[in-house]
Amino acid sequence: MSLSPPIFLKEREENNSKCVEIQQSETSSIAAEDPLQNLCLASQEVLQKAQQSGRSKCLKCGGSRMFYCYTCYVPVENVPIEQMPLVKLPLKIDIIKHPNETDGKSTAIHAKLLAPEFVNIYTYPCIPEYEEKDHEVALVFPGPKSVSIKDISFHLQKRIQNNVRSKNDDHDKPSIKRKKTEEQDLNDSKCRVTTLKRIIFIDSTWNQTNKIVTDERLQGLLQVELKTRKTCFWRHQKGKPDTFLSTIEAIYYFLVDYHTDILKETYKGQYDNLLFFYSFMYQLIKNAKCSGDKETRKLTH
């Protein structure tokens, strides 16, 4: 007597397998079409109403804007600030904006609007003073010396140890005493939890970044690269790889990876609202393109 399963069972298994493959394919297709679909966002009803009513007045400068004023970094009159989400970040963010970057096209402003206590925007050549803070500050920018997010703590710890050695390089001390002091300080530094306190992003087109990133005030800072994320920005620059992110995407993805790789905590959407404006504009522009709307430019100031 044959022990092989009946033919109908084999066919059922094959059909189930095909169904799973189709479902996985459909899920991947949907994700590719809308990479922002699974975000934990606050209600965007306020943005929907503002989009329907059109441009509104900035309560500070009086300018006519859509959603928010990119000059004053505040929402416009028909977007009540109390209806906007407020995002708490684990560290401070400095954004260095190129002077030729068009304010109305910059996504960096989203971060300032949604996390005002944690984000500062500076227009180059204005750059904060980072001297003697290289052990607690990093710059997000790709390059041959850039490290991954998971390696940040290791490299900052090395900087702390180098600073300790430098401070103890005192030839007036007896060599034995100096050596004991150095060893003690190194042991103390290893016991400390290495934490990043501030992260820097450059807001400009990729062709303009060289002037800022080569500024001597940023030299010597640890550089971090986001190597695995892909952009869905509607103004993606031609000829550049899809790993070149918009500023708000870079900030968001950095924080998500920092939360899991450095803070060692489960990510539950804590920073998703940083994409509150971005995801809404993305969907508007996607819908406009699908309907052949020639007024797409009006949707983004």
pLDDT at 175 over 60: no
Residue 87: pLDDT over 80: yes
Q: Which of 30-44, 90-104, 217-231 has the highest mean pLDDT?
A: 90-104
The rounded distance, in Å, linking the Cα atoms of 218 and 126 is 12
Averaged pLDDT for residues 7-29: 44
Cα–Cα distance measured from residue 188 to residue 184, given in angstroms and rounded to the nearest whole number? 6
Q: Is the pLDDT of residue 77 over 90?
A: yes
Q: What's the whole-number mean pLDDT along residues 264-278? A: 96
Residue 201 forms beta bridges with which residues?
A: 95
Residue 28 has pLDDT above 80, yes or no: no
Distance CA 223, CA 216 (A): 14
Alpha-carbon torsion, ordered 21, 24, 29, 32, to 10 deg: -140
For the question of whether the overall pTM of this predicted structure is more than 0.75, the answer is yes
pLDDT tens for each residue of 279-292: 999 888 888 777 66
User: Are the CB atoms for 276 and 44 separated by under 8 Å?
Assistant: yes
pLDDT tens digits for 190-200? 444 557 999 99
Residue 147 DSSP one-character state: B
Is the pLDDT assigned to residue 248 strictly greater than 50? yes
* 211 or 240, greater pLDDT: 211
Query: Which amino acid type is present at position 134?
Result: D
CB neighbours of 150 closer than 8 A, spacing ≥ 6? 257, 261, 262
Nearest alpha-carbon partner for 252 in 37, 31, 39? 39
Instruction: Give residue for tokens 């109305």.
Output: 104
Residue 278: which of 88, 65, 36, 8 has the closest Cα? 36
How far is the C-alpha of 269 from the C-alpha of 257, rounded, in Å? 12
Does pLDDT of 6 surpass 80? Answer: no
Mean pLDDT computed over every residue of the chain: 80
Neighbouring CB atoms inside 10 A of 155's CB total 15
Q: Which string of b and e fits 25-58 if b means at least 16 CB within 10 Å?
A: eeeeeeeeeeebeebebeebebbeebbeeebbeb
- In whole angstroms, what is the distance from residue 167 CA to residue 147 CA? 26
Handedness of CA 21, 24, 28, 34 (dihedral sign): positive
Give the integer Cα–Cα distance in Å for 228 and 203.
20
Kindly report the number of other CB atoms within 10 A of residue 196's CB atom. Answer: 20
